[in-house]
Amino acid sequence: ILNVEQSPQSLHVQEGDSTNFTCSFPSSNFYALHWYRWETAKSPEALFVMTLNGDEKKKGRISATLNTKEGYSYLYIKGSQPEDSATYLCAFTGGSYIPTFGRGTSLIVHP
């Protein structure tokens, strides 16, 4: 069983704060790293896919970086808004092409 860790487990921030979370994964046999956003009562939806060491992706106020050599990825949210409240999941895919998910970071943004 692959070990994909996310930290922190939960995070409470004020509207306007910037925040970041971490995903760590095996540094060998890497294929892709996905970030998903999971809102309550909805299905997880993909935010980013990163495949190359040093990849950086950005969508609006949200961005992500990837370091495959040391096995971590960061997700950043700039100027958090209440609508950013969700659980953020990362998923590591290795040579088997089977996504292994972390436990997620639950973000709550207070107005």
- Give the residues lining the site for other proteins (CB under 8 A): 1, 6, 31-32, 34, 36, 42-46, 49, 89, 91, 93, 97-104
Cα 67 to Cα 65: distance, rounded to the nearest angstrom: 7
Closest CB to other proteins among residues 81, 103: 103
How many Å apart are CA 40 and CA 107, to the nearest integer? 12
Q: How many C-beta atoms surround the C-beta of residue 101 within 10 A?
A: 17
Q: How far is the CB of 107 from other proteins (least distance, A)?
A: 14
Strand partners, 49: 34
Q: How far is the CB of 111 from other proteins (least distance, A)?
A: 26
State the minimum distance, in angstroms, from the CB of residue 79 to other proteins. Answer: 27
